[in-house]
Amino acid sequence: MTAMPPVPAGSNTVNPFIIADGAVDLIGFLIEVFEAEEVAEARTLDTDGLLLHAELRIGDSLLTVADRKPDWPFTPALTRIYVDDVDAVLARAEQRGGRVLTRPTDFFGDTLARFQDPAANLWWVYRHRPEAAQDWSSDAVGEWPADDAAPAEDWSSFTTPELEYINATLHESMNALTDPRTAS
C-alpha cells in the first residue's frame, strides 16, 4: 500500500469541489441539510463579485464551493455522503427545494437514497449499517467475480429488486439532468 501523501490540516486526500450557479444559496442549503460548517476565513469573492472559493466542513470532510462563471459549462457534482439519518436528510433537502430521486433502499449493508439539490447536483446519501452487511454476502447475492477475473458481462447473477430500482433511478436522474440556466 502506498503511504498517505501529506495534506494540509483539515483536508483529506480527496476533497470534492462543486461549481454551481448560486453558490451562496447552495452553501446555505448544505449547511441546513447536512449541518455543514463553513470555514469563514476561506470565503473569497472574485473581482466580478462571484464566489471564487468557499469551504464547508461536513463530518471529517472538506467540500469546496464556487460560483460558475457566465461562460463556463454546466458541470453537476455527483457526491456520495454518509449520514446518521437518511430520512431526516431527505426531509430537510425537500423542505429547501431538493428533489428525492431514489427513496431509501437497502444497498449492500447500507441504506442508500439520492436527491438533487436546487443547483442540479446529485447527492448519494448513505447510512452505513454494519449489522446488515452479512445480508449482502456473496452467499446471499451469488458469487462475486475473483479480483483477477474478467469483468462480468452484466450483473444478472446477483441483482435484486432493490438494485434494479437503484439502477433505474440513476439512469432516470442522469438522463433528466439539465443546465439550470437553460431549463424552462
Assess contact for 115 and 123: CB atoms under 8 A.
yes
Res. 5: pLDDT tops 60: yes
Q: Residue 119 burial by CB count (10 A; 0-12/13-18/19+): exposed, middle or buried? A: buried
* pLDDT tens string 6-52: 888 878 888 899 999 999 999 999 999 999 999 999 999 999 999 99
Res. 183: pLDDT tops 90: no
Please state, as a whole number, how many other Cβ atoms lie within 10 Å of the Cβ of residue 45. 13
Q: Write down all domains in the chain, each with its CATH number in brackets.
A: 13-75 (3.30.720.100), 76-178 (3.30.720.110)
d(CA 166, CA 108): 12
- Calculate the average pLDDT of the chain: 88
DSSP secondary structure letter of residue 40: G
Q: What would the mean pLDDT of 95-105 be, rounded to a whole number?
A: 97
| Stated pTM of the model | 0.84
Assess contact for 38 and 56: CB atoms under 8 A.
yes
Give me the half-sphere count of Cα atoms (radius 13 Å) on the Cβ side of residue 23: 25
Q: How confident is the model at residue 129 (pLDDT cuts 50, 70, 90)?
A: confident
* pLDDT tens string 133-143: 665 444 444 44
d(CA 172, CA 174): 6
Res. 116: pLDDT tops 80: yes
d(CA 10, CA 12): 7
How far from chain centre, in Å, is Cα 79? 2
Backbone angles phi, psi at 159, to 5 degrees: -75, 155
Residue, of 109 and 69, whose pLDDT is higher: 69
Predicted pLDDT of residue 11: 80
